[in-house]
Structure 1
Amino acid sequence: MLLFKLGGDKMAYSGLVLRAIKSELDEEILNKRIIKIYQPNESEIRLHFSGTEKNQVLISVNPSESRLYLSKEKAQNPMTPPSFCMVLRKHLEGGLLCGIEQIKTDRIIKFIVKVKNEFYEEVYKFLFVEIMGKHSNIVLTDENMKIIDSIKRISPLINRVRAIMPGKIYDPLVISNGLDPSQIDEDTFENLLEEKKESSLKNFFLKNFTGFSPLLIEEISAFLNLSSKDLILSLDAETKKILKNKFFELQEILLNNSYYPSSFLYNGKKDFEIIKIVNLDIKDLTIYTKVSPMLDDYYKQRSKLAGISQKSSDLSKNIEKIIERTQKKLEKQAGELNEALDREKYKVYADLISANFHKIPRGSDHVFLENFYSENLEEIKVPLDIKLNPAQNAQVYYKKYSKLKTAASRLNDEIERSKALLLYLDQALLNIELAKYKEDLEEIRAELGRLGLLRKSTFKNKSHEKKYENLKSPSGFQILLGRNNRQNEEITLKIAKPGDTWFHIKEGPGAHVVIKNMGQELTRKDIEYAGQLALENSKQKDARRGEVVYTDRKFIKRHPSKIPGLVIYTDFKSLEVKL
């Protein structure tokens, strides 16, 4: 379903990225007043500044996507602000942002805000933001570094070394113990190379300096024609000199704020960097003039894909539960039908009892009676209810026979509906796999709601009328491809006309494919191409081969169950397809 993955197991948002963001913040919001503070959810704060209505500082401490940058993306805020938001409003709203500092090019930034206290005296409040993955936090302190509050409180019971609680003294250096790469001189760097010679290139940068991302270290290693796993001691004198020169080139970029923000695909994952990547095999490069728009696009896409992934997972689980219930129901219906088809014996029981009232003693739980329906007149055992007299037992069997006779017809219909429903649910699972947008999933859920399988959805597909796919066959015929039940019904039952050719995977869920050939003869390549499309968009795609059926539109009818997307077809041909 997803065209690519987003990097997330390593921290793409590095200290160098935050340094570039600080440069943008200095230009945009320094010496401006905080006019509004919002907290859309438990892990996110938004700061609005005077004169920058369109831009807001987005701060997130979400463990999987902690970040800070200028964003234009709007968020929905709760009716009642969370308590931390109220604390920030009390202490910072109306205050002047008079300073922004980054701690040692690490992922910690400090906002210095000048405000007036209750005695109208000017005082300073500090807002620290730690972009540290699952350890991310937002901490508000007074000018003496005493903690006023934090978005995540950490008690001494959880962390004895670094408790984050109101009244405690905040010290960012406890978690920032690397060297600032912007402040290193040549002697220090050369000494480090000697002292840490048993380290790999990767650990040399990650453990001794702040700011470096794993991706940037890979870029440096590739520049040296080395792996990031290679040890420093394996480098000869010339390579060490090249490494040192590369390091100070990067330092120059930091000191001059001459960044190169870009996003790209690397090893199949979406990633970003603020240093130009030239030695790694990257694809789909997008270059930005500023870092914030790059991050806005990246995290928007990340959030979108995460939302699709979560929604598709939840929806699939719901459908799988419905499938399980339907299969149990079908088994029960099949058992009831078998009993209904065996109903004649109950009429025989009733007739035999009625003909032998005088032979049946009251209170018996069974009786052996001569079966006059059999040529051999053998005796059969007839079960009885000891609470009933013979006439009443006969009446019970007559009623049961009559009920089962009616039930047989009903159960046949119900079993067909259950089978059709299972086909539909299998198709719905495939539609989830094929979904590209969150709205596609909402549409599937709404359809399940209309069928009474899930709680009704309020989703209305007005702005997202995603159309079927429109393609061309090798001979130039128009090809229509449906990716959900609505699209399948539209192209097959509404758009396709007699003379057009319909394709589908044989005996399984899959997309409908229609060639608009209007009775004209198709080439072998046309048929094979449409067959491949049908296989690629079916449950059998992973097998890389399968049987596809195709027929004229005039031989297609809506399934008697009227379930969306299901059709029946006749007069078809088969095609063995390989991908």
Structure 2
Amino acid sequence: MSFDGFFTHAIVHELDQKLTTGRVAKVSQPYPAELIITIRAHRKNYPLLLSANPTYPRVQITDIPYKNPAVPTNFTMTMRKYLEGAIVNKIEQVDNDRIIKIIFDTRDELGDTQQLILIIEIMARHSNISLVNHKTGKIIDTIKHVGSDQNRVRLLLPGATFVMPPKQDKVNPYLPNQVYSDLVRQAEDLQDLARTLQQHYQGLGKDSAQELAQELLQSDNLPTTYQQFLNHFNNPTPVIIKQANGKTQFAAFSPIDASEATLQHFDSVSALLDAFYANKAEQDRSKELAGQVLKVIKNELKKDRRKVKKLQQQLKDAATANEYRVRGEILTTYLSKLTPGMKEIELPNFYNDNQPLKIKLSPELSPSRNAQKYFTKYNKLKTSVEYVNEQLKLTNDEIQYFENIESQIKLAAPADIQEIKLELQDQGYIKKKKSGKKQRKVKPSAPDEFHTSDGTLVLVGKNNRQNDRLSFKIANKNEIWLHVKDIPGSHVVIRSTNPSDKTILEAAELAAYFSKGRDSDNVPVDYLPVKQLHKPNGAKPGFVIFRGQKTLYVTPHKLGK
């Protein structure tokens, strides 16, 4: 079941029961398109997540921890100003649409009572969160500003009058109607009925329409069946459905036909959404936060790969340096045969059985200067080889560094992205924002913890700052360190000085999983005691050298935490 109007009805019913009469204790915006309002109600704090994320828009109570950015956004500050201390008067749905209104009672700056409405539109890429003054109908602020150049019908900007999205000419299913009876009589089959139900009823997603059509076609009493379907969303029994083909979906209640599926039941709609979106939303948040970082990395990689091609061409040119020396020596030998103004001359090549060799000349130069020009070119190419090789190594090292960060981002949590961004700022690849305020220091996050089958703790660094701390600050010198061979990956440490062969194997599988080789079947992983690691002076974060390692070939696998 998708997050359609019916599912919205279920979550609104749950939120209204839990949060009405509660007071707003805190407002935060951990991610660009998501707002969390902590509401104190019935002696308990409820973190209410409002998401205008284009991929996973939703409204729910969440128990998943989040981390706030160092500097709050302007939108966050506005929400705090108007909503902190406000009382939740009511939570309601607009008809059976994916639009939710949270009505707050609060006081203005003069102490007079006022009513504010937070309107959440759950509409894919058009999703938005708007705070509106109930009396004037004016927008105080929106999480996404939409100007007239983006939408001619609706202006979603501070100070503009809030206008609801255009209403569809469909029936609100919760109002008395008999439309379903006519549609059942006219339907050719299940798919036809599901399609026509969607066309006539408001907020009916494809999965919900399929379920309702199936229930109606099997019914002996249409009005009762129809009412029972509506009641499912007033008293939901949330479930995640895992199909035999691996597809996973959620629903407000168990479907009729679920014989081949595995069902996971939840106590609340919010708990269901937490479980369903936990990994999906986390990856999407990381991707969203990593936008600037990825852009910088792609630009740097593009520059470096272009530079490598140029340097390789210089080495190729340097390989022909002897040809310039030979031409210089031949010209010097036969200098008397050159006359000013010549563009080319053919002379015997005494390095190749006196075979004739054509040599280009600059007519504006004297014979001796023409010969000297070839010697100068020869010397320049010879002396450039050492410099070019040095630059080539530095550039290839930088490419490897950025490719390593790229692979880290694919597995990163939002907190890891923040540390990667700070690392790139420290390295000078991303400019630090200048502000009068002193930047708040971001505390380094801890490496991920896993346990092998015998209970041994294994730590995994998820970014270069973590890798350095893990390898040179946290790990004991006699513990075992692991890393995939010759490809980007995480530093992994077994917190044991004498681990079993099975533990080393499982840790190696974990190291392969947290690497660029995670989709391969046979990944080489080096392992050695931590004391054999060394970090060269001036090396980039995460870079180490070592010797005396042993190597295992494993299939990537993630351990339990």
Give the structure-2-normalised TM-score: 0.67
2:341 is aligned to 363
The aligned counterpart of 1:287 is 267
Pick from 291, 297, 302: which aligns with 1:319?
A: 297
Map 1:89-168; keep pairs closer than 5 Å. Answer: 105-106=96-97, 131=121, 133=123
SS of 1:181's equivalent in the other structure is coil
Matches of 2:169 and 2:473 in 1, distance apart?
Answer: 65
Note if 1:563 corresponds to 2:540.
Answer: yes
Structure 1 vs Structure 2 CA RMSD: 6.0
2:462 paired residue among 483, 489, 502: 483
Code of the residue aligned with 1:441 in structure 2: it is I
- Give aligned pairs, total: 527
1:65 deviation in Å? Answer: 6.5
How far does the alpha carbon of each residue in 1:237-259 deviate from its partner, in whole angstroms, 9 at most, with x for none?
xx4148755544455677xx666
Deviation at 1:564, TM superposition (A): 2.8
Which segment is superposed worse, 456-465 or 380-389? 456-465
| Paired position in structure 2 for 1:439 | 415
CA contact (8 A) 1:501 1:552 kept: yes
1:389 to 2:379 alignment:
no
Identity %: 23
Give the C-alpha shift of residue 408 in structure 1: 1.3
Could you tell me which of 518, 521, 540 is aligned with 1:544? 521
* Structure 1 residue 568: Cα displacement: 3.9
- Which structure has the larger Rg? 1
1:403 aligns with 2:380: yes
In structure 2, relative to structure 1, the CA distance for the partners of 1:371 and 1:424 (3 Å cut) is same
Residues 350 and 398, structure 1, Cα contact 8 Å, conserved in 2: yes
Amino acid of the structure 1 residue aligned with 2:396: K
Query: In 1, Cα distance between the equivalents of 2:290 and 2:104?
Result: 44
Q: Match of 2:559?
A: none
Query: Which aligned pairs between 1:297-376 and structure 2 lie closer than 5 A?
Result: 305-312=283-290, 315-369=293-347, 374=351, 376=353
User: Could you tell which deviates more after superposition, 9-18 or 383-392?
Assistant: 9-18
Contact 1:354–1:394, Cα closer than 8 Å, also in 2: yes
Equivalence for 1:578: 555
> For residues 59 and 478 of structure 1, what CA distance do their matches in structure 2 show?
37
Q: SS state of the match for residue 378, structure 2?
A: helix
Maintained 8 Å contact 1:263/1:285:
yes
- CA positional deviation for 1:533: 1.5
Residue 491 (structure 1) shift: 3.6
Q: Does 1:14 align with 2:8?
A: yes
The residue matched to 1:240 in structure 2 has which SS? coil
Which amino acid in the other structure matches residue 415 of structure 1?
L
Instruction: Confirm or deny that 1:469 pairs with 2:449.
Output: yes
SS at structure 2 position matched to 1:574: strand
The corresponding residue for 1:120 is none
Deviation digits for residues 365-395 of structure 1 (CA, Å, limit 9, x no counterpart) = 23344556x4856554443222111232333
Aligned partner of 2:170 in structure 1 is 177
Output the CA distance in 2 between the equivalents of 1:101 and 1:337: 71
Rounded to whole Å, the distance in 1 between the matches of 2:384 and 2:555 is 46
Q: Secondary structure at 2:371's aligned position in 1?
A: helix
Deviation at 1:306, TM superposition (A): 3.5
- Note the C-alpha offset of 1:478: 4.6
Is the CA contact (8 Å cut-off) linking 2:21 and 2:88 kept in structure 1? Answer: no
Distance in 1, matches of 2:51 and 2:175, equals 26
Note the alpha carbon deviations across 1:496-523, whole angstroms, 9 max, x for none. 56654443323322223333554x4742
Evaluate the alpha carbon distance shift between residue 61 and residue 507 of structure 1 in structure 2; reply closer, same or farther with a 3 A threshold.
closer
Q: Does the 8 Å contact 1:15/1:211 carry over to 2? A: no
Paired residue for 2:424?
448
Report deviation, 1:265: 7.4
Q: CA shift at 1:410, angstroms?
A: 0.9
CA contact (8 A) 2:10 2:235 kept: no
Q: Distance in 1 between matches of 2:131 and 2:494?
A: 62
**How far apart, CA to CA, are the structure 1 residues paired with 2:131 and 2:423?**
46
Contact 1:197 1:231 in 2 (8 A): no
Determine the C-alpha separation between the residues in 2 that align with 1:265 and 1:173: 33
Shift of 1:427: 1.2
For residues 218-229 of structure 1, the aligned pairs below 5 Å read 221=211
Secondary structure of the structure 2 residue equivalent to 1:287: coil
Displacement of 1:196 after TM fit?
5.2
Judged with a 3 Å threshold, the aligned counterparts in structure 2 of structure 1 residues 331 and 217 are, in CA distance, closer, same or farther, namely: same
TM-aligned CA distance change 1:209 to 1:78, over 3 Å:
same
Which TM-score applies when normalising by structure 1? 0.65
Query: Could you tell me whether the CA contact under 8 Å between 1:540 and 1:546 is conserved in 2?
Result: yes
Q: Is the 8 A contact 2:2 2:205 kept in 1?
A: no
Aligned partners of 2:37, 2:500: CA distance in 1, in Å?
62
Q: Structure 1 532/55 Cα, relative in aligned 2: closer, same or farther at 3 Å?
A: closer
The 3 A distance-change label for structure 1 pair 216 and 568 is same
Give the 3-state SS of the residue equivalent to 2:519 in structure 1. helix
Q: Which stretch has the larger CA shift, 558-567 or 532-541?
A: 558-567
Q: Do the aligned residues in 2 keep the contact of 1:500 with 1:552 (CA within 8 Å)? A: yes
**CA 1:407–1:493 in 2, change beyond 3 Å: closer, same or farther?**
farther
Instruction: Name stretches of at least 5 consecutive residues in structure 1 with no aligned partner.
Output: 1-6, 30-38, 90-95, 115-123, 222-227
Of 424, 432, 435 in structure 1, the residue corresponding to residue 401 of structure 2 is 424
Q: Match of 2:507?
A: 530
State the alpha-carbon separation in 2 of the partners of residues 468 and 105 from structure 1.
43
Counterpart in the other structure of 1:504: 483
Q: CA deviation at 1:361?
A: 1.1
**Separation (CA, whole Å) in 1 of partners of 2:248 and 2:485:** 37
Q: Does the CA-based 8 Å contact 2:475-2:493 persist in structure 1?
A: yes
- Deviation digits for residues 409-459 of structure 1, max 9, x if unmatched? 111111111222222222111111121x22312222332343344445788
Q: 3-state DSSP class of the match of 2:401? A: helix
Contact 1:417 / 1:561 at 8 angstroms: preserved in 2? no
Supply the AA of the counterpart residue of 1:177: K
3-state SS of 1:405 partner: helix
What is the deviation of 1:78? 3.6
Map of 2:389 onto structure 1: 412
Number of the residue aligned with 2:493: 514
In the alignment, which residue of structure 2 is the partner of 1:119? none
- In the alignment, the residues of structure 2 paired with residue 199 and residue 434 of structure 1 have an alpha-carbon distance, to the nearest angstrom, of 42
After superposition, what is the alpha-carbon deviation per residue over 1:62-84, rounded to whole angstroms, capped at 9, x for unaligned?
A: 876666789999995649999xx
Range 323-332 or range 396-405, more displaced = 396-405
Q: Report the Cα distance in structure 1 between the residues aligned to 2:474 and 2:36, rounded to whole angstroms.
A: 49
Distance 1:381 1:556, change over 3 A: farther
* Rounded Cα–Cα distance in structure 2 between residues aligned with 1:486 and 1:43: 27
Residue 463 of structure 1 and its aligned partner are, at CA, apart by 3.2
Say which SS state the counterpart of residue 503 (structure 1) adopts: strand
